[in-house]
Amino acid sequence: MLLQLPRWTSLVRTLYIGTKSEVLNIDNPDLDKYPLFSKARRYECSLKAGDVLFIPALWFHNVISEEFGVGVNVFWRHLPSECYDKTDTYGNKDPTAASRAAQILDRALKTLAELPEEYRDFYARRMVLHIQDKAYSKNFE
Residue type, 85: D
Tens-place pLDDT, residues 32-85: 877 777 777 778 888 888 888 888 777 777 788 888 888 877 777 788 889 988
pLDDT, residue 106, reads: 95
Any residues with CB less than 8 A from the CB of 42 and at least 6 apart, and which? 2, 3, 4
Does 16 score more than 60 pLDDT?
Answer: no
Strand partners, 2: 44, 62
For 26-44, give the secondary structure using H, E and C: CCCCCCCCCCCHHHCCEEE
- State the angle between helix axes of 96-112 and 117-135 in degrees (0 to 180), rounded to the nearest 10: 160
Phi-psi region of 58 (alpha: psi -120 to 50; beta: other; left: phi over 0): left
Q: What are the DSSP E strand ranges found in 49-92?
A: 60-62
Average pLDDT over residues 72-100: 84
pLDDT, residue 8, reads: 47
Question: Average pLDDT over the chain, rounded to whole?
Answer: 80
8 A C-beta contact, residue 53 and residue 47? yes
pTM: 0.63
